[in-house]
Amino acid sequence: MFDTAAFEAGDRADATCTAMQENSAPSNVTLEDPKTVTSLMEVWSYGDASIFRSRMSGMTLLRTGKQADRTPSPLIAIAVQEVATARYEQGGVRRLVAPGELMVVDLNARYDYSWDTFGSSRCLHVPLDRLDLPSDVIRGGSAHPERSPIARMISHHISTLTVEGDALSTSPGATALGEAAIDLARALFATAHGGVQARAAMNDTMTTRIRSHVRAHLFDPSMSAESIAAAHGISTRRLYTLCAAAGFSLEQWIIEQRLRRAYEELATARAAAVPISVVARRFGFAGHAHFSRRFRAAYGVTPSEWRDAAASARRHDDTVQREPEN
């Protein structure tokens, strides 16, 4: 979404600083060498979550306490350093972040982040209000995210959402991938915080991991309670107990998730010519009849009726847009 190659040499420094602030939070951006700056920034949306990737020459990003007070952010940033070792300081914690390492940036507090040579970072932005955690747990977990047993898992998830961003962010499962990222972020903070909540956090982590696993394999018709339990090293009985404690039925939740993704897909133009039986198989249903029956029970219309209604709405919108203004 931003490339210095598209700008004249004399405009690249200012454009880079502006783009960095617009995609992070208001801050002071200092470039190592403004005359030779090169940068590429990309953004992919996954429902309520998003990925911001910056690749650029040496820079320093400083957000002051006054800036944080004046322009509070609804997001928190979980980043994986990609290229070059970065320097990071926030809340009394100073550290060097090597490629592959994880860090958390609280956008509502002062921080200082920099690298000297060409570097890059993959950053997950998550809405704070979706974490459903006390502020002290988020702060405590932010200081040392590497202490969480799922640090490697969320790092891998962030990297996948970045490297495969063009394909995944436009796929039917994009929203599900974003929900998985939010679940993993919640578990990251809870388990990294530790303390009296450690035991409950570990149980929450297992439920989060189960949900994330299901979302990642949502369209696999062979997915079963047995395969899910085996992937997490627990018995199927333990799996059902965890789901019940979290307040959901595993089978019904899987069906609801699949139906929601199919509902979203059938409303798109690309699904207009795809046979309903193909859509059913793509979203993990064994056959057309079973899919149609479940879809009608959930939404009050058949898959074909919903797709036709969505197509009619698109045609109407196109007609309105083409009509000349008086």
Are 218 and 227 in contact, with CB atoms under 8 Å apart?
no
Residue 321 belongs to some domain of the structure: no
CA distance 280 to 278: 5
- How far apart (Å, rounded) are the C-alpha atoms in residues 277 and 15? 49
Q: Which residues contact 59 (CB under 8 A, 6 or more apart)?
A: 20, 29, 30, 31, 32, 114, 115
Two structure tokens written together for 45? 């949306």
Q: How much of the chain exceeds pLDDT 70, in percent?
A: 94
Does the pLDDT of residue 30 top 90, yes or no? yes
* Residue 232 belongs to a domain: no
Which structure tokens are listed for 224?
């079963």
Domains in the chain: how many in total? Answer: 1
Confidence of residue 326 (pLDDT cuts 50, 70, 90): low
What are the pLDDT digits (tens) for 174-222? 888 898 899 889 888 888 887 555 556 556 667 777 887 887 788 887 8
Residue 316 confidence (pLDDT): 75
Q: Which of 169-183, 230-244, 289-303 has the highest mean pLDDT?
A: 289-303
- Taken in order 97, 103, 108, 109, the sign of the CA dihedral is negative
Measured in degrees and rounded to the nearest 5, phi and psi for residue 299 equal -120, -5
How far does CA 200 lie from the centroid of its chain?
24
pLDDT at 167: 87
CATH number of the domain residue 74 falls in? 2.60.120.10
For the record, the structure tokens of 121 come out as 């970072």
In this structure, is residue 233 part of a structural domain? Answer: no
β-pairing, 59-63 vs 93-97, is unpaired
> How far are the Cα atoms of 17, 63, 66, 95 from residue 70, in angstroms, in the given order?
19, 11, 6, 27
Size of the chain, expressed as the number of residues it contains: 326
Indicate the SS3 state at residue 60: strand
Q: Which of 64, 78, 83 is nearest to 21 (CA)?
A: 64
What are the pLDDT digits (tens) for 42-67? 999 999 999 999 999 999 999 999 99
Tell me if 178 is assigned to some domain: no
Mean pLDDT of 29-35: 94
Rounded Cα distance between 244 and 83, Å, is 43
pTM equals 0.68
Looking at per-residue confidence, does 192 or 316 come out higher? 192
- Condensed to tens digits (0 to 9), the pLDDT of residues 133-179 reads 888 888 888 888 988 888 988 998 999 999 999 988 988 778 888 98
Q: Is residue 87 part of a domain?
A: yes
Write the DSSP symbol of residue 28. E
Kindly state whether residue 58 falls inside one of the protein's structural domains. Answer: yes
The residue segments making up the domain with residue 107 are 1-166
Q: How far is CA 135 from CA 93, 94, 131, 296, in A?
A: 18, 21, 10, 42
- Separation of alpha carbons 203 and 254, rounded Å: 20
Does residue 207 lie within any of the structural domains? no
| Residues 185 and 150: beta-carbon distance below 8 Å | no
Whether pLDDT at 256 is above 70: yes
**Is residue 302 classed exposed, middle or buried when 0-12, 13-18 and 19+ CB atoms within 10 A define those classes?**
middle
3-state SS class at 178:
helix
Among 54, 53, 6, 59, smallest CA distance to 34 is for 59
- Report the percentage of the chain scoring pLDDT > 90: 56
How far, in Å, CA of 194 to CA of 187, rounded?
11
The predicted pLDDT at position 201 comes to 55
Residue 134 within a domain: yes
Q: Locate all alpha helices (DSSP H) within the chain, ordered by sequence.
A: 12-23, 65-70, 135-143, 151-163, 165-168, 174-193, 198-216, 225-231, 236-245, 250-266, 276-282, 288-299, 303-322
